[in-house]
C-alpha cells in the first residue's frame, strides 16, 4: 500500500546516502525502521491506555514489593 511520508532535508539526505552506499532502496530502509519500532510503539500506547483505564477505575495501586509479598514471590 502506498504511503507518503514527509522527511526533513537532513533525514532525506541521510536516507539517500545510506541507500546509495548500500545499493538498497530508500523504501527498504523505511520499511526496516517501521518494522523495528512498530512493536515498541504499540506496546507504549497499550501501556498508556492501561494506565488511564486503571486510574479511571478508582482502584488503588500499591508498591510492587507489597504485591510480591502478597503473592509470595
The pTM score is: 0.59
Q: State the Cα torsion 60-61-66-68 to the nearest 10°.
A: 120
Q: Say what the pLDDT of residue 38 is.
A: 93
Q: Using an 8 Å Cβ cutoff, are 59 and 53 in contact?
A: no
Specify the higher pLDDT residue, 18 or 1.
18
Is residue 73 pLDDT above 80, yes or no?
A: no
Long-range CB pairs of 23-32 (<8 Å, 24+ gap) are: 30/5
Summarize pLDDT for 9-64 with one digit per residue, the tens: 999 999 999 999 999 999 999 999 999 999 889 988 888 888 888 888 888 878 88
Amino acid at each position: 500500500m502506498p504511503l507518503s511520508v514527509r522527511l526533513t532535508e537532513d533525514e532525506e539526505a541521510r536516507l539517500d546516502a545510506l541507500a546509495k552506499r548500500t545499493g538498497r532502496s530508500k523504501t527498504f530502509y523505511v520499511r526496516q525502521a517501521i518494522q523495528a519500532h512498530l512493536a515498541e510503539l504499540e506496546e507504549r500506547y497499550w501501556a498508556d491506555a492501561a494506565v488511564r483505564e486503571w486510574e479511571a477505575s478508582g482502584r488503588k495501586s500499591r508498591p510492587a514489593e507489597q504485591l510480591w509479598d502478597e503473592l509470595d514471590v
